[in-house]
Amino acid sequence: MKKFELKVARRKITGKKDAKSLRRQKQVPCVLYGGKENIHFHTAERDFKDLIYTPHVYVVDLDIEGSKHLAILKEIQFHPVTDGINHIDFYEVYADKAVVIDLPVEITGNSVGVRAGGKLKQRKRYVKVKGQIEKLPDSLVIDISDLDIGQSVLAGDLKYEGVEVLDSPRTLVVGIISARAAAKGMGETAEAAAPAAEGAAAPAAAPAAEAKK
């Protein structure tokens, strides 16, 4: 998986008042859990731009004042009006232990069905998988070159070394439909959700109305 380095500072004080003070300074209160202890920290909101606002999924190399941790995003809370980042939860992971996480689907190839006038129908932009961090790919590449009109790729068709696909085997990931079906709205993308991970998940979780302390 792609890695993202993030150097942060521990929070000396926790609580609602301190969190508000940090946000006024354009700092984001965060917490890392899943390890021996929960660790509260903060860093500048701008530091998250390339981690959050991207279709990629990263394992984060956290440097908390010299203490190193591997983590993935669990939950992001946004301000309901400004869309600024209010709070982020991280979940600690280990290189030798499996983790459940949503990986992005990467479509490659020029489908014979599309060349014949069909339309691409992508129903899944992320697929839930399980595996060791060091063995998980950056994305789940699907070559659609041989897909004809009426054909599709299901979650059960996906096979990658070191990766266990957890979505239902009958879940439609991508397919080619006729132009007529597409005109009736059957080709609309049904899923554009952000990644999620086991107890640990994803980069762009849905906004929450209230921030954590």
Tell me, yes or no, whether 84 and 153 share the same domain. no
Name the token pair of 60: 């984060």
Q: Is the model's pLDDT at 207 over the cut of 60? A: no
Tell me, yes or no, whether 50 and 105 share the same domain. no
Task: Give backbone dihedrals phi and psi of 180, rounded to 5 degrees, phi first.
Answer: -65, -45
Q: Is the model's pLDDT at 213 over the cut of 60? A: no
Cβ–Cβ under 8 Å, residues 64 and 10: yes
Query: Which whole number is the average pLDDT over 174-182?
Result: 87
> 210 falls in which pLDDT band (50, 70, 90)?
very low
Residue 7 maps to which CATH number?
2.40.240.10
pLDDT at res. 197: 46
Tell me, yes or no, whether 122 and 86 share the same domain. no
Cβ–Cβ under 8 Å, residues 123 and 173: yes
Mean pLDDT of the chain: 87
Domain count, the chain: 2
Tell me, yes or no, whether 110 and 73 share the same domain. no
Query: Which whole number is the average pLDDT over 90-116?
Result: 94
Tell me, yes or no, whether 10 and 87 share the same domain. yes
pLDDT at res. 193: 38
Query: Which whole number is the average pLDDT over 132-160?
Result: 96
Predicted TM-score (pTM) of the model is 0.78
Parent domain of 178 = 99-183
Q: Is the model's pLDDT at 192 over the cut of 90? A: no
**Of 88, 91, 77, 82, residue with least CA distance to 34:** 91
d(Cα 149, Cα 117) in Å, to the nearest integer? 8
Cβ neighbour number for residue 186 with a 10 Å cutoff: 12
Q: Is the model's pLDDT at 188 over the cut of 70? A: no
Tell me, yes or no, whether 66 and 103 share the same domain. no
pLDDT at res. 36: 87
d(Cα 132, Cα 155) in Å, to the nearest integer? 19
d(Cα 126, Cα 197) in Å, to the nearest integer? 11
d(Cα 49, Cα 43) in Å, to the nearest integer? 12
pLDDT at res. 185: 66
